[in-house]
Amino acid sequence: MSHAGRCALLCLVASAPVPAADPVAATVNGEAITVADLDAATTPDKRLSPVEQRQLRADVLNLLIDEKLVRQFLKANGPKVDPAEVEKQFAALEAGQRGMGKSIDDYLKETGQTAAQVRENLRLMLQLARYLEAQATDERLRQYYELTRDLFDGTTVRASHIVIRTGPSTPAEERRRAVEKLRAVRADILAGKIGFAAAAKAHSQDPTGPAGGDVGPIARKFQVDEAFARTAFAMQPNQLSDVVETEAGFHLILVTERKPGKGSKYEDVVRDVRECFEADLKQALIADLRKKGRIEVKGR
């Protein structure tokens, strides 16, 4: 099986120099992401409602923040890259453009970058790849395989959930109330006062609520938040979780079905293991950088 699409390296996009007077959308450890940067990275879609457009810009801004954090980390900690390797990648890019009947100048115009910015992007991507590869020792890959073997075996679970939405900016008191509410709902379900589906319809702040909270079959990785998947795969059918926190909010999870996969051998799936390990490592790095970083969102 291939997880290439889901495990791709973070795409690092260089921003063109902008006047100091440009309004700032966010700062990351003192470095600005301007509204112009955000505008350039956001593809307008007239089909979206105003609320959906605002959410799209918020999502794009979060990606730009992640990119800025990774850039800063690599600048301080990334392995050295020989300029000749960058030129080799640049030449490959040129060859790819020729294969499509285009020139490198066409590419620069389409992406709004200079040749120097493209070379810097390539250097950073090589740095990130080397950093991740250095962590992927055989011992760590085998440990990762055992911890997430359900993914490579092809095992799936079907789950339903009840969620109360929260985010990083949600006040602590509101988060506490969300947990208390879900624990009260859980107690009612366990006492037989209400069924899970009825509770989801009554309380869940998710599009799955009207359907009883069913999210369908999920794989061990890359379909839902890791905390959600880890909890679901540790449970047996008809088990109800305690309150689980994810990036989306707080959940109660009910596993309704578990289907074993065909099984796997480490030696046969080692490439997939490495790919997924590096993707998880990258996400863990970003999460750690976010916790330690000084991030201030000023506007979108």
In the structure encoding, which two tokens stand for residue 140, read together?
Answer: 């760590």
Do 121 and 209 lie in a common domain? no
The model's pTM is 0.67
Residue 288: CB atoms within 10 Å: 12
Q: For residue 100, what is the domain's CATH number?
A: 1.10.4030.10
Answer yes or no: is 19 within a domain: no
Answer yes or no: is 128 within a domain: yes
Q: CA 139, 145, 148: angle at the middle one, nearest 5? A: 140
Do 113 and 33 lie in a common domain? yes
- Residue 48 DSSP SS3: coil
73: CB partners within 8 A, 6+ apart: 285, 289
Measured CA to CA, the distance from residue 17 to residue 37 in angstroms comes to 10
Answer yes or no: is 232 within a domain: yes
Measured CA to CA, the distance from residue 90 to residue 104 in angstroms comes to 9
Measured CA to CA, the distance from residue 258 to residue 233 in angstroms comes to 8
Nearest CA among 228, 199, 205 for reference residue 216: 228
Measured CA to CA, the distance from residue 124 to residue 85 in angstroms comes to 12
Do 169 and 131 lie in a common domain? no
Residue 83: CB atoms within 10 Å: 10
Do 98 and 241 lie in a common domain? no
Q: Are 40 and 15 in contact (CB under 8 A)?
A: yes
Do 292 and 244 lie in a common domain? no
pLDDT per residue over 273-294, tens digit each? 999 999 989 989 998 999 899 9
Instruction: State the residue range of the domain holding 71.
Output: 24-140+272-297
100: CB partners within 8 A, 6+ apart: none
Do 240 and 173 lie in a common domain? yes
Residue by residue, pLDDT tens for the chain (300 residues) are: 434 333 433 444 444 444 456 799 999 999 999 998 898 888 878 888 888 888 888 888 989 999 999 999 998 888 999 999 999 999 999 999 999 999 999 999 988 889 999 999 999 999 999 999 999 999 999 999 999 999 999 999 999 999 999 877 788 899 999 999 999 999 999 999 999 999 999 999 999 999 999 999 999 988 898 899 999 999 999 999 999 999 889 999 999 999 999 999 999 999 999 999 999 899 899 989 998 999 998 865
pLDDT at 12: 44
Answer yes or no: is 149 within a domain: no
Do 36 and 124 lie in a common domain? yes
Do 136 and 163 lie in a common domain? no
Answer yes or no: is 18 within a domain: no
Please provide residue 256's backbone torsions phi and psi, each rounded to the nearest 5 degrees: -110, -15
Do 132 and 281 lie in a common domain? yes
